[in-house]
């Protein structure tokens, strides 16, 4: 009690030399965008429940939706990268970001598994360019790739757009200095947790839930709509077995290819399955 009174007196008379002052430096954060819709950054800044707490606990060194200017050169305690790599300059810049960052997280389906921009990967790059452009002299695109094709990634914040659970997990892991704990099971588990009736078994609906990584809370199946795998494939998913199930249900080869290339066409799990049904 005497000690507490002593501390109170010190504060009353402003004696900083006697006080134990601990100033914690905010982690430096950078947010970078490549080929995508920028929805991940938009989701991160504007549609998170704890946005004020997030903004207050990080120093935004480079994030175009938060502040103009910034310092893209870093250094960063955490770098968040969205978008598919579709140009050589992006791969070069990504490697520099990795060198200047303590932690680098891929955020969103485009950065993690190619997402929508990687749909074109099922065709030769030149063929795709000719479909879109008359003059190819100014086009320098390359075959789309997820960012971990070029650099080491410390974690994957899945989703299109990313879910709050994994985003919080990534940010709090940096703040607390622990390894992030991301979900590594299928959407089917989430359906069971929600008490949903299986759309694939009970309603003969082609649902991608069995091969899709969890994190969305089984959002689409909870509204009687088959999962379309916007979170991307879970690790070591038996995608071919599910595709064969779809085929036995009467789904055409063309539609099976579409399902396995809409998201994750550059991943091993989905790419091999799509190739199995290609002519």
Which of 257, 189, 199, 196 lies closest to 222, judged by CA? 196
Residue 148 and residue 232 in one domain? no
Q: Identify the CATH number of the domain in which residue 131 sits.
A: 3.40.50.700
Residue 47 and residue 150 in one domain? yes
Residue 144 and residue 273 in one domain? no
The count of structural domains within the chain is: 2
- Single residue among 119, 141, 176 that ends a domain in this structure: 176
- Single residue among 136, 156, 176 that ends a domain in this structure: 176
Residue 37 and residue 118 in one domain? yes
- Single residue among 176, 197, 213 that ends a domain in this structure: 176
Tens digit of each residue's pLDDT, the chain (279 residues): 444 433 443 454 455 544 444 446 899 999 999 999 999 998 888 767 777 777 789 999 999 888 888 888 989 999 999 999 999 999 999 999 999 999 999 999 999 999 999 998 888 899 989 998 999 988 889 999 999 999 999 999 999 989 888 988 999 899 998 999 999 999 999 999 999 999 999 999 999 999 999 999 999 999 999 999 999 999 889 999 999 999 999 999 999 999 999 998 899 889 999 999 886
Report CA 103 to chain centroid distance, whole Å. Answer: 14
Q: Is residue 181 assigned to a domain? A: no
Q: Is residue 206 assigned to a domain? A: yes
Place of tokens 């082609």: 206
User: Domain range spanning residue 255?
Assistant: 187-277
Identify whether the C-beta of residue 233 lies closer than 8 Å to the C-beta of residue 264.
yes
CA dihedral (233, 235, 239, 242) positive or negative: negative
pTM of the full structure = 0.85
The residues that bridge with 155 in the sheet, in sequence order, are 105
């Amino acid at each position: 009690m005497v000690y507490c009174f002593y501390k109170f007196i010190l504060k009353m008379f402003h004696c900083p030399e006697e006080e134990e002052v601990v100033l914690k430096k905010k982690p430096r954060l950078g947010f970078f965008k490549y080929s995508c819709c920028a929805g991940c950054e938009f989701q991160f800044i504007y549609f998170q429940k704890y946005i004020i707490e997030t903004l207050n606990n990080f120093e935004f060194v480079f994030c175009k939706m938060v502040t103009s200017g910034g310092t893209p050169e870093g250094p960063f305690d955490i770098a968040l990268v969205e978008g598919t790599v579709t140009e050589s300059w992006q791969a070069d810049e990504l490697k520099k970001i990795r060198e200047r960052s303590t932690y680098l997280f891929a955020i969103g389906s485009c950065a993690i598994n190619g997402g929508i921009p990687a749909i074109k990967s099922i065709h030769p790059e030149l063929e795709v360019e000719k479909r879109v452009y008359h003059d190819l002299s100014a086009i320098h695109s390359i075959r789309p790739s997820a960012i971990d094709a070029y650099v080491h990634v410390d974690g994957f914040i899945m989703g299109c757009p990313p879910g709050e659970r994994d985003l919080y997990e990534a940010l709090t892991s940096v703040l607390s200095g622990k390894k992030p704990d991301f979900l590594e099971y299928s959407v089917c588990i989430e359906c069971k947790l929600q008490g949903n009736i299986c759309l694939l078994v009970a309603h003969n609906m082609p649902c991608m839930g069995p091969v899709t990584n969890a994190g969305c809370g089984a959002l689409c199946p909870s509204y009687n709509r088959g999962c379309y795998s916007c979170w991307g494939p879970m690790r070591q998913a038996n995608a071919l077995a599910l595709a064969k199930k779809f085929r036995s249900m009467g789904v055409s080869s063309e539609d099976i290819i579409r399902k396995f290339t809409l998201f994750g066409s550059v991943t091993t799990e989905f790419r091999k399955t799509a190739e199995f049904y290609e002519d």
